[in-house]
Amino acid sequence: MIKKLHDIGLRSEHAYTAGIASIGLSIFTWATSLRAEPGKGLDRADRWGIFVGEWAPTFFCLGLALSHYEQEEGSLMGKAHTDGERQRQRAGAP
């Protein structure tokens, strides 16, 4: 799943940004619900804030998984480059 997300262009920075944005959105939805529905009470505003706030850990976990994938992919590319250089040196190529 992480490979597919990476292949469609999602990077760890995007997931981390979405996590931070969801924290701000959580506070915004809590305040908006509190003001827009004063008759519903604090409980409803809290539920909206918590609902959106629970997205943040998911985005941060995705960011961490994508970060590990990006590092692994980078180290494999570096290894392939090093192996190719060694083969050229053995063959006597400049």
Per-residue pLDDT reduced to its tens digit, 7-55? 999 999 999 999 999 999 999 988 888 787 766 667 888 888 888 889 9
* Counted domains in the chain: 1
Q: What is the pLDDT of residue 83?
A: 56
Longest dimension (CA), the chain: 82
Q: What is the pLDDT of residue 77?
A: 59
Domain of residue 8 covers 2-91
Return the ∠ at Cα 55 (arms to 67 and 72), rounded to 5°.
Answer: 10
On the question of pLDDT at 68 being above 70, the answer is yes
Q: How confident is the model at residue 85 (pLDDT cuts 50, 70, 90)?
A: low
Q: Is the pTM of this model over 0.85?
A: no
